[in-house]
Amino acid sequence: MIFFIDTNIFVAALRGRAPHVRTRMQQHDPRNILVPHQVVAELRVGAAKSARPGHNNMQVSVILQPFAIAWPDAVALEHYADIRVTLERAGTPIGEADLWIAAITRATGGTLVTHNTGEFSRVSGLLLEDWLAS
C-alpha cells in the first residue's frame, strides 16, 4: 500500500505531539510513503514564517529525507479537474493545495494519511487514514 502524508500529520510529528506517527512512518518501507509536492511547499512556508526558520527548515528536511516527492502527472491532472468540478458543482469546494493532494493520491490509488478527514471525505474514491486518531 502506498501512503501519501498530509501536512497536518508531519506538523504533529515535528512538534512532538504524536510520537506514534513517527513510529508508524518508520514501520513502512520509505518507498511506500510519498509526499505530495503541495505538502512540501506548505511545510517549507511554515518553517520560513516561524520564529526559528533555519532550525525548523532543517527539521523539515530531516523528516522528509527518506521519502520521495509526488508531482502531478497527466493522470493526476485529470483527477484534479474531476475533483474540482465535482466539488464546485456540489457547492463544497476545497482549497487549491488540498485539491492537488487529493488528485495525486487518488490518481495512484494510494491512501491519504490526514487529520483533515472532514474535508477530504468529500472527495469520492479517495482512501483516507487518520494516524493521529489511532
- Of the candidates 48, 43, 45, the residue with the CA atom closest to the CA atom of residue 15: 43
- Read off the pLDDT of residues 16-58 as tens digits, 9 standing for 90 and up: 888 899 899 989 999 999 999 999 999 999 999 999 999 999 9
Chain mean position to CA 109: 14
Instruction: Mention every residue, 6+ apart, whose C-beta is less than 8 A from residue 34.
Output: 2, 3, 4, 5, 67, 68, 69, 70, 108, 110
Instruction: Mention every residue, 6+ apart, whose C-beta is less than 8 A from residue 124.
Output: 86
> Residue 84: pLDDT above 90?
yes
Q: At what angle do helices 37-49 and 96-108 cross, to 10 degrees?
A: 140
Residue 93 in 3-state DSSP? coil
Indicate the pTM of the whole model. 0.94
Residues in the chain: 134
Domains in the chain and their CATH numbers?
3-129 (3.40.50.1010)
pLDDT at residue number 125: 97
Instruction: Determine the average pLDDT of the residues in 108-112.
Output: 97
